[in-house]
Structure 1
Amino acid sequence: MGSLWEALVSAYAFLAIVPVLPFLLVFGVASVRSGDRQRAIRLAMDITTAFLIGIVASLINKLLGNHFGPYLILLFMLLGAGLIGNAQYRMRGKVNGMRLFRAIWRLSFFAMSVLYILLMLVELVKSMFGSEPV
């Protein structure tokens, strides 16, 4: 059981480092199977978000030198859910939990994509011009 878990963790780590791969893989398979490109894009976004959250949390941890990355992401997701839930309640008089979750998850895809690019650029610059002796 331990080696299976290690294999899953390694596969997740590989796919999280390059989140374009799971996006393209899921999009390709879903668009071929269903023929609906819009649905395939939404599914690819939903699945890739899990990988993006993992790598962005890791990059935040490395940048800040602590283990607060996943909690920071969760905090912003909860704040966003509160704001969107409040807007839903004011407009409709009730909160649709599934629509709220889907909205936060998809907004997280866009936010994590931007953060992934920015944090990877920061790490690249730090590795190129870092203060470590050669």
Structure 2
Amino acid sequence: MLPFFPFLIVYFLVLYYKKQKKVALLTAMDVTTIFLIAAVAALFNNTFDSGFGFYLILILLLIALGLIGSAQTRLKGKIDYKRMFRVVWRMAFVLMGFSYIVLMAFGLFSYIIALM
């Protein structure tokens, strides 16, 4: 439920070994995305009393892959799979980070209201 801890651990480990802030940041983002997906799926399931959270995220990622692949085909005539997956994965980091904050705030707020 706390995906920012892996981010900090990976960031400082990569920074220590590689001595490059940009590489450390991007690697930490890539690793943390996995934890964010799991945390957001769990928060979604708890908040909305559902079991569909992970599948919703998976569907959204697949749609994003399809849209970006289609755009690459129209613009360049071919698909660069490595770049396509990297773009979707980094977009997932941003969207899951935002979703994590929103769902966590909503969950805390609803829990406080339920106690009153």
Query: What is the TM-score of this pair, normalised by structure 1?
Result: 0.83
Partner of residue 54 from structure 2, selected from 42, 53, 70: 70
**1:107 & 1:76 partners in 2: Cα distance?**
11
Is 1:80 equivalent to 2:64 in the alignment? Answer: yes
Return the offset for 1:96: 1.1
Which residue matches 2:6? 22
Is 1:119 equivalent to 2:103 in the alignment? Answer: yes
Return the offset for 1:106: 0.7
SS of the aligned residue for 1:40 comes to helix
Matches within 5 A, 1:54-69: 54-69=38-53
Is 1:100 equivalent to 2:84 in the alignment? Answer: yes
**2:86 & 2:50 partners in 1: Cα distance?**
29
Counterpart amino acid of residue 42 in structure 1 = L
Q: Which one has the largest radius of gyration?
A: 1
CA RMSD between the two structures: 1.1
**1:93 & 1:106 partners in 2: Cα distance?**
23
Counterpart amino acid of residue 103 in structure 2 = L
> Matched residues, percent identical?
40
Structure possessing the higher relative contact order (Cα contacts under 8 Å, 6 or more residues apart)? 2
CA-to-aligned-CA distance 1:57-99 (integer Å, 9 cap, x gap)? 0011112212100000011101111111111111110011111
**2:14 & 2:75 partners in 1: Cα distance?**
34
Structure 2: any 5+ residue segments left out of the alignment?
none
Return the offset for 1:19: 1.1
Structure 1 residue runs of 4+, over 3 Å off? none
Matches within 5 A, 1:16-55: 17-55=1-39
SS of the aligned residue for 1:94 comes to coil
Which residue matches 1:14? none
